[in-house]
Each structure stands twice: as C-alpha cells, then as structure tokens.
Amino acid sequence: MAQTTTGLRSILSAAWAYELLQTLLGTRPMRRVFVNDYVRPFKGARVLDLGCGPASLIEMLPDDIDYTGIDLSPGYIASATAKYGHRGCFHVMDAASLRNTGETFDIIYSFGMLHHIDDDRCRHVFEMAEAMLRPGGRYVTFDPCYAEGQHAFARKIADWDRGDAVRTPDQYLALAGSAPFARIDHAVRHDLWFLPVTVHLMECLKR
Ligand SMILES: C[S@@+](CC[C@H](N)C(=O)[O-])C[C@H]1O[C@@H](n2cnc3c(N)ncnc32)[C@H](O)[C@@H]1O
C-alpha cells in the first residue's frame, strides 16, 4: 500500500474523523461534479465503488441502483455498513486482489483511491475493472495530480496527501492504458474546489 498512516494523518483512519474533515473542507460540490458529470449513474445501474471509504458518495447516487462498495479499511466498511447497509453491499477487500468471478457492472468508479496504490497494483485494478465491465460500461477515476502550471498551493496539497502515489496525468493514463479499454477520456481540473487543487479524472470505456 502507498499510504501514509502515521502522525496527524493517522486519525483519518477513523471514519468519523475522515467524514468530519471532508465536511470541514467542503468537498461536497466537488463530489457532486464527479457523480453528475463523470459517473453519470442511471436508473437500475449496477455500480462498483472501489476504495469506497465510509461511502458518503452513495448519498449522491439514485436510490434504485445496485451498489457494491469495497475498501481496505475495516473501520470505514463498518461505518458504511451501519449507515448505508440498506442501500448496498460493502466488503473489506483490497482492490488489487480483485478477481474476475464473472460478476459484471455497468459503472465502476474510484474516488481518490488510485493515488494510494503502487503501479503494479493499479495495473491489476485497471485489468480487472475492464474485465468486470459490461460492454459499453465505464471505469471512472478521480485522483489528485501533479500538473504543469498548477498553483503552488495545489502542488502542496498533493504533497500533503495521505496517498503516496500522486501521479502526473501521463502516468495515470499510462496505467489505464495497460488494460484493453476501447477509449480513455481524461481531464485535468483546477476548478473543483474553492482553494486551488488539481485533480485528474479518467473515463475508461469498455469495448
Ligand atoms: C481518499 S480515500 C477516498 C474514500 C472514498 N472514495 C470517498 O469518497 O471519500 C481513499 C480510500 O481508498 C482506500 N484504499 C486505499 N488502498 C486501497 C486498496 N488497495 N483497496 C481498496 N481500498 C483502498 C482507503 O482505505 C480509503 O478509504
């Protein structure tokens, strides 16, 4: 795992602390853009959320989707199950140990997970996501990134991140390109938060 869990950042292992920080940082509008403009959930969709954390994104999804969330953290999954167990299934699982069991999804997404895992594990995640998508399905990703011309504060935010594998857009794209997606669209956004922050989004389309 490429994640810093020591010092002040260790407190974020508690779901309540992580959720409180998200609220204080005002990440809701950014999450709303991710869901509405990039995930684009639709009625009845089968959705897999990789690195779901305490799963607050589920509040922005329609009620009638078939949702599964996985995360490495037992604490986050316990919190997600207690709060949203009536909305979906949650499992403690390493996304890098996903196996193709024949289950398929319309949409797979990861909000802020890839920058927590090293390159080999990321390649495995992309390979499995591609294999587990239905034809025309999409794997949608969102992660902080280092980009040319970004604000110095945005770069500092990326440096401070708990994830130790914040990458450049080209590096994220190269990892996604290791799986046989039909098309990969991407965007670098500097406008999603009230303070300067740079994020990289990808939509990887299954043939
Ligand atoms: C920045 S948090 C994002 C959480 C959540 N997606 C959200 O919307 O707030 C990154 C999450 O990825 C999870 N994670 C990191 N590595 C993982 C892995 N290999 N497999 C599954 N989850 C992982 C962490 O436990 C954490 O919950």
Distance CA 143, CA 173 (A): 12
The answer to whether residue 2 is domain-embedded is: no
Report whether pLDDT(1) > 60.
no
Is the pLDDT at 137 greater than 80? The verdict is yes
pTM over 0.85: yes
Beta carbon of 140 within 6 Å of any ligand 1 atom: no
79 has a pLDDT exceeding 90: yes
Tens digits of residue pLDDT in 23-77: 888 899 999 999 999 999 999 999 999 999 999 999 999 999 999 999 999 999 9
Would you state the pLDDT for residue 8? 58
Q: Could you give phi then psi for residue 204, rounded to 5 degrees?
A: -105, 115
Question: Environment class of residue 104 by beta-carbon count within 10 Å: exposed (0-12), middle (13-18) or buried (19+)?
Answer: middle
What are the tokens at 9?
């950042």
> 125: which 2 tokens?
């995640």
Contact in structure between 72 and 98 (CB atoms under 8 Å): no
The boundaries of the domain holding residue 43 are 7-205
Question: Does residue 57's CB lie within 6 angstroms of at least one atom of ligand 1?
Answer: yes
Instruction: Determine the distance separating the centroid of ligand 1 and the alpha carbon of 18, expressed in angstroms.
Output: 11
Q: Alpha-carbon distance 173 to 201, whole Å? A: 10
- Give the mean pLDDT of the chain: 94
Least confident piece of the model among 16-20, 118-122, 158-162: 16-20
Mean pLDDT over residues 151-158, rounded? 96
pLDDT tens for 114-127 read 999 999 999 999 99
pLDDT of residue 72: 96
pLDDT over 70 percentage in the chain: 96
Separation CA 180–CA 170 (nearest Å): 17
Cα 204 to ligand 1 centre (Å): 19
What letter represents residue 165's amino acid? A
- CATH at 149: 3.40.50.150
pLDDT reported for residue 6: 60
Ligand 1 atom with the shortest distance to the CA of 94 = 20
Smallest CA-to-CA distance from 15 within 81, 91, 106, 63 is with 81
CA dist list (Å): 98 to 30, 33, 70, 129? 28, 27, 10, 9
Q: What are phi and psi of 35, to 5 degrees?
A: -70, -50
Number of helices (H) and strands (E) in the chain: give both, helices first: 6, 7
CB 164 within 8 A of CB 135: no
Whether 169 is covered by a domain: the verdict is yes
30 CB under 6 A from ligand 1? no
* DSSP symbol at 148: T
In a domain, 35, yes or no: yes
Task: Evaluate whether residue 1 is within a structural domain.
Answer: no
In a domain, 139, yes or no: yes
Tell me whether residue 60 is in a domain: yes
Q: Is residue 24 part of a domain?
A: yes
Q: What is the C-alpha separation between 158 and 202, in angstroms, rounded? A: 18
Tens of pLDDT, residues 20-34: 888 888 899 999 999
How many domains does one find in the chain?
A: 1
Whole-number pLDDT of residue 12? 78
The DSSP code for 13 is G
Q: What was the pLDDT predicted at 94?
A: 98
Does the structure show a pLDDT above 90 at 7?
Answer: no
Q: Using most ligand atoms within 8 A of CB, pick from 28, 71, 128, 200 the residue to mutate for ligand 1.
A: 71
Domain-embedded: residue 77: yes
126 φ, ψ to 5°?
-65, -40
